[in-house]
């Protein structure tokens, strides 16, 4: 939104609720705003005013308005119907600071920027360290020369789920010594997104980064076009490299082409050191978003940061998340009943532990945080009221009403639609994967990041931020903190102290994967992909 040029005179504006404005007649407003006419004597003007009953009405109104403004704490937010202050704020974000004088809100913001909340964790000197073994490099030379074996994969799910499967596909191609045909992205039945690999990721960059690890080709060569690929749909969960070789290698050598589907979590998370490093190389270096996505994502990042640090919040409050997790949104009885009926009608949607009640799931930390719980957590962790929040994720169940606890406490609350200028999001319309990529960029670049409920995006960004130098990432300790959330008799100061203490070690500090057996190295890149040597080692691959 363009900002109109103002004249040399400075003007001040006061936001007044629409209900009050509508209750005043136009003539009353005019009498307040219009300048006085020709000078009269003080006594005659006083007599006229005292005889005019409208004077007393205006006097009472002004007095009441001043009292109301004293108690009115925050401006409207992007989810309120009155868009005036929103448009001014959005224009201010887009163009940066336009005034040399700080308003009261800006002074509060300046104090907030100095808050401990923005303090980054100690990285302990850990940096990316992809030092592949000599054996791995030697084998790589032979693998990229091979022209007989080709691996084709079909990846499914949302963008972040597809991203994980692409990482696995590269590693499986390396294990089999096969060239990888650019992964095919299955059309998502929920969102209908028909985006291909090159629509989301920088294909040439992907090929170049992996040039010494795996040969990536755009399509099958003419020598293999007529070959009917061996299709495998039943790869078990968490298989080892040995299982993959024994299962597929003989058939791949015989037929030349292998087609794999449903790769989600099929490859073990505990791999030999070189293959773990390859996972990191794919996730953090090779899978770069396409230039047009990067450009817009970086623009939105700059707009969020134009007035200081910001928090990125990945909210998992969509209807399908409540259904799949077996949890209730707690918005009202009607919404809880809606989710209960949906789950009852389609029990296959419940992802796991179907024998647990909602209450048991909640206490076990298996449910997303709702807006009120997010507010209480952020406030306990010291987030200033002036905190600027970028929220990523789909439309929550209940719409803007579900977000009211957040927008009331943290009024500087935006998503990509709020930040984008007219027409900027049009090329990405109805393409959920591209929209998710924009959210990923702005969230990964934030000063502080928090996900309300794990998930593929939350895990990917957690690992990415660790690999980038351990930027502050709040990991809600739901299992331990929720009993205190349910204790209404606990004083607020004591509650805040307990919650802060529970999260002292959950703010993005270096965490070794060896203490997280079976976890993905792309979520916990130490020690396989990062080291704290005084001289950072780089991959020569």
Residue 95: is its pLDDT beyond 50?
no
More confident position, 20 or 256: 256
Are 238 and 307 contained in the same domain? no
Alpha helices in 346-414 (DSSP H): 358-363, 371-380, 404-409
Give SS3 for 151.
strand
Q: Which residue, 470, 465, 408, 409, is CA-closest to 442? A: 465
User: What are the pLDDT digits (tens) for 379-400?
Assistant: 999 999 999 999 999 889 999 8
Residue 187 has what pLDDT? 79
Domain boundary among 286, 320, 340: 286
Residue 16 has what pLDDT? 36
Are 241 and 328 contained in the same domain? no
In a domain, 358, yes or no: yes
User: What are the pLDDT digits (tens) for 333-360?
Assistant: 999 999 989 888 887 777 666 678 888 8
Residue 128: is its pLDDT beyond 90?
yes
Q: How far apart are CA 228 and CA 226, in angstroms?
A: 6
Are 187 and 336 contained in the same domain? no
In a domain, 466, yes or no: yes
Question: For residue 240, what are the domain limits?
Answer: 134-286
Residue 249: is its pLDDT beyond 80?
yes
Residue 538 has what pLDDT? 42
Are 304 and 193 contained in the same domain? no
Q: Is 517 exposed, middle or buried, given 0-12, 13-18 or 19+ CB atoms closer than 10 A?
A: exposed
Residue 356 has what pLDDT? 83
Are 352 and 426 contained in the same domain? yes
Q: What is the mean pLDDT of residues 49-78?
A: 53
Helices (runs of H) and strands (runs of E) counted in the chain: 24, 13
In a domain, 19, yes or no: no
Q: How far apart are CA 465 and CA 347, in angstroms?
A: 36
**Average predicted confidence (pLDDT) for the chain:** 82
User: What are the pLDDT digits (tens) for 282-330?
Assistant: 999 999 999 999 999 999 999 999 999 999 999 999 998 998 888 888 8
| 154 contacts 259 by C-beta, under 8 angstroms | yes
Among 6-10, 50-54, 68-72, the range with the most confident prediction by mean pLDDT is 50-54
Give SS3 for 416.
helix
pLDDT class of 518 with cuts at 50, 70, 90: confident
Domain boundary among 254, 286, 318: 286
Domain boundary among 252, 286, 320: 286
What residues are paired with 201 via a beta bridge?
289
How many structural domains comprise the chain? 2
Q: What is the mean pLDDT of residues 212-228?
A: 88
> What's the CATH number where 201 sits?
3.40.50.11340
More confident position, 1 or 297: 297
| 470 contacts 121 by C-beta, under 8 angstroms | yes
Are 445 and 360 contained in the same domain? yes
């Amino acid at each position: 939104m363009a900002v109109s040029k103002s004249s040399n005179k400075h003007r001040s504006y006061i936001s007044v609720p629409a209900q009050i404005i509508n209750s005043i007649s136009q003539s009353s407003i005019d009498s307040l705003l219009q300048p006085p006419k020709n000078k009269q004597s003080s006594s005659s003007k006083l007599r006229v005013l005292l005889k005019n009953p409208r004077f007393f009405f205006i006097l009472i109104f002004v007095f009441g308005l001043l009292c109301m403004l004293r108690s009115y704490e925050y401006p409207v937010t992007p989810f309120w119907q009155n868009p005036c202050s929103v448009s001014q704020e959005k224009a201010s974000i887009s163009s940066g600071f336009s005034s040399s004088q700080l308003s009261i809100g800006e002074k509060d913001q300046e104090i907030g920027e100095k808050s401990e909340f923005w303090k980054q964790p100690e990285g302990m000197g850990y940096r990316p360290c992809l030092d592949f073994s000599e054996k791995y490099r030697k084998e790589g030379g032979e693998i990229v020369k091979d022209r007989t074996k080709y691996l084709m994969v079909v990846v499914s799910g949302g963008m972040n789920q597809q991203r994980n499967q692409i990482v696995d596909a590269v590693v499986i191609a390396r294990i089999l010594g096969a060239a990888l045909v650019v992964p095919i992205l299955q059309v998502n039945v929920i969102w209908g997104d028909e985006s291909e690999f090159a629509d989301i990721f920088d294909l040439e960059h992907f090929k170049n980064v992996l040039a010494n690890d795996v040969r990536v080709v755009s399509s099958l060569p003419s020598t293999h076009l007529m070959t009917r690929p061996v299709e495998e749909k039943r790869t078990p969960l968490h298989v080892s490299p040995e299982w993959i070789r024994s299962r597929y290698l003989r058939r791949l050598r015989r037929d030349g082409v292998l087609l794999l589907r449903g790769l989600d979590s099929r490859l073990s998370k505990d791999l030999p050191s070189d293959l773990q490093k390859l996972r990191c190389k794919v996730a953090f270096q090779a899978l770069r978003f396409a230039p047009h996505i990067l450009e817009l994502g970086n623009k939105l990042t700059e707009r969020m940061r134009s007035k200081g640090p910001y928090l990125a919040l990945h909210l998992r409050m969509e209807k399908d998340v409540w259904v799949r997790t077996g949890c209730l949104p707690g918005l009202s009885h009607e919404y809880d009943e809606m989710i209960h009926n949906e789950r009852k009608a389609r029990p296959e949607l419940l992802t796991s532990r179907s024998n647990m009640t909602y209450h048991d799931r909640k206490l076990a930390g298996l449910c997303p945080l709702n807006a009120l719980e997010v507010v209480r957590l952020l406030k306990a962790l010291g987030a200033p009221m002036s905190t600027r929040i970028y929220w990523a994720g789909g439309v929550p169940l209940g719409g803007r009403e579900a977000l009211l606890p957040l927008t009331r406490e943290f009024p500087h609350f935006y998503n990509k639609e709020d930040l984008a200028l007219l027409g900027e999001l049009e090329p990405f319309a109805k393409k959920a994967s591209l929209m998710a990529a924009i959210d990923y960029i702005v969230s990964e670049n934030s000063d502080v990041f928090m996900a309300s409920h794990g998930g593929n995006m939350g895990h990917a960004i957690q690992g990415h931020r660790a690999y980038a130098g351990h930027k502050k990432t709040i990991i809600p300790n739901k299992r331990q903190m929720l009993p205190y959330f349910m204790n209404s008799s606990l004083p607020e100061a004591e509650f805040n102290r307990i919650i802060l203490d529970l999260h002292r070690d959950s703010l993005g500090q270096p965490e070794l994967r060896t203490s997280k057996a079976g976890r993905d190295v792309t979520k916990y890149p130490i020690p396989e992909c990062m080291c704290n040597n005084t001289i950072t080692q780089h991959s020569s691959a």
